[in-house]
Structure 1
Amino acid sequence: MFASFLYFDLSFMVWYLLGPLQVPIAEALGLDTQQRAFMVAVPILCGAVLRLFLGMLADRIGAKRVGVLAQLAVIASLLGAWQLGIHSLGQVVLLGGLLGIAGASFAIALPLASRWYPPEHQGTAMGIAGAGNSGTVLAALFAPMLAAAFGYRSVFGLACIPMVLALLVFIFAAREAPVPVARKQWADYGRVLVGNRDSWRFMLFYAITFGGFSGFASALPGYFHDRFDFDARSAGWATAACVLAGSMMRPLGGMIADRIGGTRSLLGVYLLVALLVLVAGAGVGGAQVSLLLFVLTLLCLGAGNGAVFQLVPQRFGSEIGVMTGLIGMAGGIGGFLLAAGLGVLKQQTGSYTPGMWLFALCAFGGWGLLAWVKREWRSQWVAGAGAARV
């Protein structure tokens, strides 16, 4: 569990690195708001797609081996950016694509930890391992500060230090669970998608919760800079407060879902998120009010991430590996659409409000869909006292 958490945590730190560095990079390369948003959204999208490939590879040669190879590739990418520099939008997008490998760690760390625990503790186990998304806090806190002191290019080189240490811990501490692992094929993904409405529903639910978390985590440094004229360091610290709330709440969200049921938790999450983002988009209050609203928003989204993965093993126990990859991919796609969409709408309208309200509408839609299907789930998945956990 510790090895999975640390691996996931520092991989997420690197995956998110372009977010808190977006202001100095955009200033150096002369990027507009839309280009800046695309730059920070690319790692999210690439990480989402690569999760499927790394997940399939992990089934064949082992999650630990794939984790080591992926970490080496990420370290090499960081070293290249540090030594060679980035001089254009195309180069920073290429770097973002390579950093997407770090985002694909989701498909390695979570199954590696999950397979050690029985179904009744999946919410807690997946929540603890998944709390590795707190690595975004490290990036938001330290990347702008280091960039101000040494230049943003040096941040890529400095990031290699904790990555190498985490790799060593992973090599010596990670262990594969003594359970049989079925090798996934592309046909397996097709099987759970064709004619299975629940697979699409879960992908949508996670696209809202994790997509909201990762999308806002990447977009908020630019948002605080543009709207309240925060410098890169202040914007990073404000974003770190928001991301920390969401990261800490993920394991608690899993525990709460274990106690009161995943659907009940998610219903509350979607409703609260929709209301909070509506108010934030309306521009009520100043910087402090906006910061509080986004802290609460990401706190709720973190709880939602834990709740989704409390439900996944109950619905897809024999296909958890396939669904973890698909759901993780959907979450990344959701984050890409939110981060890029906020930038596009800001560029076209001059305001972040339309993008915020569109996301709030999606959260309301998730609430409505979940309220509609919850009775069907409770009657079909479990019987008797076990239904309370759904």
Structure 2
Amino acid sequence: MAGKGFMQAGHKPSLFSSFLYFDVSFMVWVLLGPLAVIIMGDFDMTASQKANLVALPVLGGSILRLVLGFMTDRIGPKRTGQIGMLLTMIPLFWAWQFANTLSSMYFVALLLGIAGASFAAALPLASRWYPPQYQGLAMGIAGAGNSGTVITTLFANRIATYYGDWHIVFGFALIPIVITFIVFTILAKDSPNQPAPATLKDYGRMFGQRDTWLFCLLYSVTFGGFVGMATYLTIFFNTQYNLAPVRAADFTTICVIAGSFFRPVGGWLADKLGGIRMLITLYAGVAILLAFISGLPPLGFVTVLLFIMMMLLGMGNGAVFQLVPQRFRKEIGIMTGIVGAAGGIGGYFLPKILGNVKEATGSYSTGFLILSGIALICIVAILVVQKDWKSSWVGQGGRAQTTTEISA
């Protein structure tokens, strides 16, 4: 298989199913991001409470990814995905029909994390069909399902404004979930190369390895940065630049498009140039852009900066998961859940940092500078371990790699 081209390798219906499942789940996962500026019209919320509302789905997703990752290893990614979609319908129906208090919306927000946990089933469904040399592209295509964020930011506030009721948006969201469940059930197929089910001891062993924590840090900044920004930017544009809800969501859409569609590019470039070199360059770019954004420049300029930053974060997602299967080929199911959970935790803390700093200081500037510093920490961490990676990864992951390939 390793000698075949990408189009001849793997299982395309499962790759498409993985993308579709991830795409629709992402759409649901970030629903509260753009809707928050409309929902806050019904509830008197502080800046930190707004941040809590949009951050809770991300926290729920990060916790439940470990659960779905464990299920994926036990019952396979297809059945795990089916269960995940069925459970996702519960908070959508509840928000549509019953959620009329802020506490009930917090409950809905946490349960929406089930959709975010789709990561732990969708990526192994695709990954297990492909050999190491196509991991970056395959994982990038499946992971491009985060483009579902674009659907949410583009249409959620428009639907709420048109009907004069934000509850109905959750009812509409049930339609694509049901359709995706049917398509997924028909097309998705588990790879015959399923690893042995992981045990809790296996998870404990992974947490005892330094590289596990390092990948968690790296992904908490790339993926966490993307999803955190995607959920919070509408609030940022609304409060900082006084944009109306629909217009604020439109500006968010412009930025989110970059991160969504450049994830496969990041995986492909990492395959060609090397994930380590890619990540160092991307984190440096993100740190610089965040430093500029902290100056809170005019709307047009800050939008351009955010667009480029989201593009870099999207490519960083693909680059991280080009490296993970090389380092942990036999434990990819476990690592997908662990690293994915870390990404969700990063996405939880980003709105919290911006919201809490805004409430404490009256400005977003310090919050963006803190995020810039975190990106610089990632560069330092990679530089510290790079030499060890070059020597220890040779011959791992099912494809013998040269030192040059790994260090690139």
Identity within the alignment, %: 47
1:302-341 aligned at under 5 Å gives the runs 302-341=314-353
Per the alignment, residue 386 of structure 1 pairs with 402
Q: 1:113/1:313 Cα in 2 relative to 1: closer, same or farther (>3 Å)?
A: same
SS in structure 2 at match of 1:235: helix
Cα separation, 1, equivalents of 2:334 and 2:402: 24
Return the letter of the residue paired with 1:352: Y
Per the alignment, residue 231 of structure 1 pairs with 244
Per the alignment, residue 295 of structure 1 pairs with 307
Cα separation, 1, equivalents of 2:134 and 2:43: 48
Is residue 358 from structure 1 mapped to residue 385 from structure 2 by the alignment?
A: no
Cα separation, 2, equivalents of 1:138 and 1:374: 38
Report how many residues are paired: 387
Deviation at 1:388, TM superposition (A): 3.8
Contact 2:24/2:180, CA 8 A, preserved across alignment: yes
Contact 1:107/1:328, CA 8 A, preserved across alignment: yes
Contact 1:258/1:389, CA 8 A, preserved across alignment: no
Deviation at 1:387, TM superposition (A): 3.3
Is residue 29 from structure 1 mapped to residue 43 from structure 2 by the alignment?
A: yes
Cα separation, 2, equivalents of 1:170 and 1:227: 41
Alpha carbon RMSD of aligned pairs, Å?
A: 1.1
Per the alignment, residue 68 of structure 2 pairs with 54
1:13-28 aligned at under 5 Å gives the runs 13-28=27-42
SS in structure 1 at match of 2:130: coil
Per the alignment, residue 235 of structure 2 pairs with 222
1:338-353 aligned at under 5 Å gives the runs 338-353=350-365
Contact 2:195/2:330, CA 8 A, preserved across alignment: no
SS in structure 2 at match of 1:335: helix
SS in structure 1 at match of 2:262: helix
Contact 1:29/1:87, CA 8 A, preserved across alignment: no
Deviation at 1:244, TM superposition (A): 0.8
1:61-72 aligned at under 5 Å gives the runs 61-72=75-86
Cα separation, 2, equivalents of 1:388 and 1:93: 49
Deviates more, 1:64-73 or 1:200-209: 64-73
Per the alignment, residue 4 of structure 2 pairs with none
1:1-390 aligned at under 5 Å gives the runs 1-84=15-98, 86-150=99-163, 151-194=165-208, 196-284=209-297, 286-382=298-394, 386-390=402-406
Cα separation, 1, equivalents of 2:157 and 2:100: 19
Deviation at 1:385, TM superposition (A): 5.5
Contact 2:51/2:351, CA 8 A, preserved across alignment: yes
SS in structure 1 at match of 2:34: coil
Return the letter of the residue paired with 1:79: F
Q: What do the CA deviations read for 1:29-64 (whole angstroms, capped 9, x no partner)? A: 111111011000000011011001111112222211
Deviation at 1:67, TM superposition (A): 1.1
Return the letter of the residue paired with 1:32: T
Cα separation, 2, equivalents of 1:311 and 1:144: 37
Contact 2:228/2:346, CA 8 A, preserved across alignment: yes
Deviation at 1:386, TM superposition (A): 3.3
Cα separation, 2, equivalents of 1:319 and 1:243: 31
SS in structure 2 at match of 1:221: helix
Cα separation, 2, equivalents of 1:67 and 1:316: 22
Return the letter of the residue paired with 2:18: S
Q: What do the CA deviations read for 1:123-159 (whole angstroms, capped 9, x no partner)? A: 1111110011111111000001111111211100011
Relative to the length of structure 1, the TM-score reads: 0.97
Deviates more, 1:61-70 or 1:245-254: 61-70
Q: 5+ residue gaps in structure 2?
A: 1-14
Deviation at 1:372, TM superposition (A): 2.0
Deviation at 1:180, TM superposition (A): 3.0
